């Protein structure tokens, strides 16, 4: 879960990212990114494989290779292209109490949902109730996960202020180019696409409907975020009038 939807032009950010003082911070940021992934990756592996009760689960390893592998590559790409963006993505402390509560609840719900594919692999719910998922569908779903990650990287390239916390920084302006022409919160939209493919990539039909439990988290976070942006970001209210849909065109 993510991101403010406003930024100043990417050309301005890029020019700042090339200054010597910014480049001097790259080794420090690189260490922080490395430590972050070295800490999180074992936890993610445990989240999937402990419920499965085995390491012999190729779908789980394939998913982690795609998901974590692309995330690592993207972080180190942006470390060179825009270290300030990486710094924002590493910030996790929410300044708003409501967002802290939403993120905590969302993390608990998502962690619970993502234990289901492992239990499904061990206990065979999908195989017993709906049949074994074909390998071609699992591979196609992996491609969908990767596509969602690539799209999220596009959002970050377009909006260099797409941080993980909700705040308005000095000098920000509204951006309406790229994916922001279609919806006001494309990062949420593309992350939802990636999430929807995860159960199928892991061979778990029964996990798909469970993702509906996470949708209210998106709604609450977006509505609270927009309240802040309308109040503190000049021009955002007008942008909302021009761009009607928040996350899913023709739906919401």
Residue 5 lies in a domain: no
Residue-wise pLDDT tens digits, 126-169 = 999 999 999 999 999 999 999 999 999 999 999 987 777 877 87
Residue 249 lies in a domain: no
Number of domains forming the structure of the chain:
1
Residues written for the chain: 252
Residue 75 lies in a domain: yes
Q: What is the pLDDT of residue 25?
A: 60
Residue 140 lies in a domain: yes
pLDDT in tens, the chain (252 residues): 444 444 444 334 334 444 444 455 666 888 888 898 999 999 999 999 999 999 999 999 999 999 999 999 999 899 898 998 888 888 877 778 888 889 899 999 999 999 999 999 999 999 999 999 999 999 999 999 999 999 999 999 999 877 778 778 777 788 899 999 999 999 999 999 999 999 999 999 999 999 999 899 999 999 999 998 999 888 999 999 999 999 999 999
Residue 232 lies in a domain: yes
Residue 154 lies in a domain: yes
Residue-wise pLDDT tens digits, 98-135 = 888 898 999 999 999 999 999 999 999 999 999 999 99
Q: CATH number for the domain including 212?
A: 1.20.120.1630
Residue 251 lies in a domain: no
pTM: 0.85
Residue 79 lies in a domain: yes
Instruction: Supply the range of the domain harboring residue 119.
Output: 10-242
Dist. CA 192–CA 21, nearest whole Å: 36
Token representation of residue 242: 């021009």
């Amino acid at each position: 879960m993510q991101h403010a939807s406003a930024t100043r032009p990417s050309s301005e950010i890029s020019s700042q990212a090339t200054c010597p003082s910014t480049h001097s911070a790259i080794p420090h940021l690189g260490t922080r990114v490395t430590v972050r992934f070295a800490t999180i990756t074992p936890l993610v592996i445990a989240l999937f494989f402990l419920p499965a009760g085995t390491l012999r689960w190729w779908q789980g390893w394939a998913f982690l290779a795609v998901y974590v592998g692309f995330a690592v590559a993207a972080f180190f790409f942006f470390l060179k292209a825009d270290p300030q963006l990486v710094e924002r993505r590493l910030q996790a402390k929410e300044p708003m109490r409501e967002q802290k509560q939403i993120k905590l609840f969302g993390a608990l719900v998502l962690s619970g949902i993502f234990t289901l594919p492992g239990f499904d692999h061990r206990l065979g719910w999908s195989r017993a109730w709906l049949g074994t998922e074909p390998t071609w569908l699992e591979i196609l779903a992996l491609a969908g996960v990767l596509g969602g990650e690539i799209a999220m990287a596009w959002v970050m390239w377009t909006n260099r202020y797409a941080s993980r916390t909700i705040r308005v920084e000095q000098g920000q302006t509204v951006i309406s180019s790229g994916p922001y022409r279609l919806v006001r919160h494309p990062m949420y939209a593309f992350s939802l696409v990636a999430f929807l493919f995860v159960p199928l990539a892991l061979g778990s039909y029964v996990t798909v409907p469970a993702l509906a439990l996470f949708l209210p988290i998106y709604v609450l976070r977006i509505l609270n975020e927009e309240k802040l942006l309308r109040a503190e970001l000049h021009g955002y209210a007008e942008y909302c009038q021009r761009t009607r849909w928040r996350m899913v065109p023709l739906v919401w």
